[in-house]
A and B are shown apart, each in its own frame.
Chain A
Amino acid sequence: MFKGFDSKRRGILSTFLGFGILLPQTSASIAFETSQSTTINDPAPGFDELWHTVMVDISVMGVIFAAITIYFMFKYRRKHPDQVGDAPKMSAAQAVGWALIPAFIFMADDFYLAAKGWQLWNKFREVPADRMEVKLESGMYSWDYTYPNGVRTQNKLRVPAGKPIMLRMTSRDTIHSHYLAKYRVKEDSMPGRVTYLWFYPKEEDIGDRDNLVTCTEYCGVMHSYMVGRVEVMPAVEFMRWYKQEESKLSQNNNNAEDNSTATATNIILEQEV
């Protein structure tokens, strides 16, 4: 199942506990390294890296504060009932220093994380030009995909390995959210607006039965059963299926306009194969 997390399942959050700091660079970024693919700027491994960074970052913060608290708790125990606190009076300079220095440290950290986050965000937003665009219309309770050549599928997104897929999404009733846990991405689909997301299926995703599409926006009674599957196929096999469906489609309606759009996209896909 979630290959990216399997190896470090308990690792990632326990980094946060503070243990993880002792063994820096766990397997966080290893998971995706096998996909040494061309020029596609896949954000998913970037997610795992940034996640790790953030976890280390907040663990350091948390551990410092927790450690000081525990230290004070034991160091300054009340010895006799009448004892009162003995905090030294702060001078104005000290008071300001205790405000500004931590504030700037926190701010520095925030901007560091923000910059990292923005960088990764751009990856999520820069959709590769060499992509396949699939339309998605969600409804209570199914995911309905329409391929460039007009082929439609429901709850099953077949994609060729090695080709970035972009979904242009809308909804016919309530808000849904198309969540691809494996590709670390989700985006809402809603009536009246078109949203998009993209992901990059790879060779090693072929045959993954747990490559699920789940719905993560509450959309009604059957919200938890609104599940689809991403089926990553070898490119050749995908083309075979794609053509086959297309010819079925044109048999069904011998409409000239349909065909012309279909052939246009065929060309693009064939170049790739």
Chain B
Amino acid sequence: MSSTSALLNLLSAALLIYSLIRLHRAKLEWDAYTRLMLNWFLGTLAVISSANLLYWPSLLSTSTASTLDLILDILQLLAAVFFLIFLHAFGQSRWHAAVNSKQKDYQSMLNKLPGVSYRSTGDEQALLLEVSDNVESLLGVPAANFRGKHRVSLLEYMHPEDRESMLPAYLDCIADNRPFTFEYRLINPEGEEIWVIDRGHRVNSSEGKHVVEGILLNASRLVSAEQELSQQEEHMRMQQKALLRLCEFSGSLEQAMQLVTRIMAETLDISRASVWLYTQDRTQIDCLDLYSRESDSHQHDLSLTLTDYPGYFGFMEFGDVIAADHAQEDERTAELRDSYLAPLDIQSMMDTPLKIDGEVRGIVCAENQHEVKKWSIDEQNFARSVANVVSLMLEISVNRQIEEDLRKERDRAQSYLDTVNVMIVSLNNEGRVLLVNDRACDLMGYTIDEIIGKHWVSSFVPEEERTELLKVVSDAYKDTGSLRSSYENHVLTKSGEKLLIRWSNAYQTNDEGKIIGLLAAGEDITEFRRQREEKDRLQDEMQRVQKMRSIVQLTGGIAHDFNNMLTSIMGYADLAQISMKRNAEIESDRYLGAIRATSKKAGNLVSQLLDYSRENVLVKTPINLNDVVRESHRMLEAMMSSSVQMIDELEEDLPDISANQAQIQQVLVHLCQNAKEALHDKNATLWIKTSVKQIIGASCTSCFQKTNGRFVCLEVIDNGVGISSAVSAHMFDPFTTTKEVGEGTGLGLSAVHGIVHMHEGHILVQSEPGQLTRFSVLLPINTATETAHEPIETTEIIDKKKARREGPVRALLVDDDESVTRLLSSFLQRNGIESEVMNNSLEALSNFEKDSTAFDIVITDHTMPNMTGLELVEKIRSRRKDIPVVLCSGYNEMVNEDEARALGVSRFLNKPVRLETLASVISELTSA
């Protein structure tokens, strides 16, 4: 060996020895085995290096050197082996260190989990094999207690009840290899129950056994929260049930308040509950009801003055709940402490304002005595709900009171409507019935329900009248001024009968004045109309009977006059005949004059009879009442007893009246006849007076109507026995008579009443027994200007006649009575008028048509066979309009003057026609 090699070996040996020493001193975290292998490795190398020094400077023998070589080679081999073992040991130790580190990390992580992770045997013992450290926080038992040799079962800490119920299911899940989740109670060493949720599943251990790995979660808070939630739900349910009971209550307000306070006290589990309401002037608050659970009693005679507790009521005005747990200390309720809270030992109170229409009207008060109660949000909400319900109850109560008042008012109005004897019907804008009274129902035979809501016109008006009535109603809505205040129409009853109703109508309007319907009051005039028609019929009959009676009476008197006249005529005729035989012309002429005068009187008398016998056709003409009296005088004289003195007192220049002369005569006759019956004394006197009277506020004795104005008055006054008040009250009623049965009809004054009122006049009667009886008939003055009925045609005729007038006048004379035509023809001929006589109207027309210009005038009778005089006139007029026509008639029932004039008759003459009158008329019509 060279010295260099020896030095290198020496250095190596020193380094290795240094390393061994350092290794020995160093505090390495190596296990002993690793350290030992490394020591041996380094020691072997150190030995080898040291031994190599023995080769320098070749001191050893060959054999020794050979032995040393062998030893060194063996040491070299050992060093390699030691190094290999060292590597392995080092790796193992580091591996275990890493595993332990990882295990610590996992354990730390498990401990940070919210639950306790565990591993247990998968059998019925459930022995804990592993458990995380935080088991101590769950059970209060250190984890080390579960990691000893003596294994602990989780079942030991389980609540016995839960263990019994859970274990079978737990074993089933393990057997079926299903994950499980159980909720059960553990009991810690202090005996406290701990709710846990156990979630786990089966796994196979490294030994191939079934073990369970799971985690235990502390569910105590969750369960507690669930229980609290459940309790809250129960409270809510109770509150809802209580509110439902309140809402469903339908008794009186007092009962409702008692129910409110009781339910509130029971639901909130408090001592007292009450409802308070402000007075109208809001100066105090009165208790509607206060319920005390201790005494189980209600009281309501309490009140608080607002000025005594301004702060408290001020807070109430904010409108929110005052929930004072410590009511006596709370600033909102402290004012009540001395006078209210402390004496009653009220510790907590919760006041909820009652709001109606947004205004605080009262308080719902919940109070707890003797101990403090914390008002939860739910309880405050419940109190608000109760306050809302009470507000509704109060509103409903007020509305009920209003409805009750309205119902009473409606019933009262209905009773008023039902008591009146007219139908009351109210219709809306659609024409449907809104209201109807009992009278209407009675008349129509329906019930109220059968009428209300029906369309009135469609349902209760006869079909033939519906269209017109609908138009009337429609017009009434279109034009508010067009409502007919009075209207008559028929109404159908349930039995189909038609009632004639006279309606008085009015609009119904709302507060804004808008029309919302019609109100109609109807009077059943069916019977009235029937009676009136019957009355009219009876009056007509009465008038006819009365007229006949008058005629009969007149006949008796007139026959005497006629006989006298005939006697006179016949006598004078005989004398004239004798005188003519003697050629005593002067005597003959005197006798004939007497005949003529007597005949004239007879003609007048007949004329009066004809006038009186005319039917009651009211054709009014301007007449003078004095003329009527004068013309009737003779007839009345004849009717009266000879012992009765008749005195006419007629006012001069009496205005005309518009009247039917025959009927006015009839009135006069009836009144005189009536007077005659009362005149029995020797000094019996009958006055007939005419005058003009101004009447102010007098009542008509027959129609009782107030009368005003200027009238022509016809008075019939007698000094007979007078009329008693009993008779005077009904004297204008038909068949009222003071005469014996069979002597009179009792229709006279009824006829007078009818006629006078048909002439728009009135009757005033003044009479008392033993005094003058005065019947004053007031007839309206004819104010129309009297104009001559001179037809234009006549003027034209005269003008044309003027133009062509030459030679004698030629007349066409038509009458079916030959004696009349002969007489008239002779008369006309003697007056220089040529006449062509025709006794047949058809022949007359034919003759006229042959040459219509051949005649200057036509004189015709009216009543003729084949063709009446009027028909003839009409035909003649169609041929020639300018020819004057004179129509003569002896019976005015067939034609009246106005009608005749309208058909073209120039002049109308009543038969018997006086020849002088005829001559005058012809002269007038044909003159220049």
Q: Do A and B bind each other?
A: no
By a beta-carbon cutoff of 8 Å, the part of chain B in contact with chain A is none
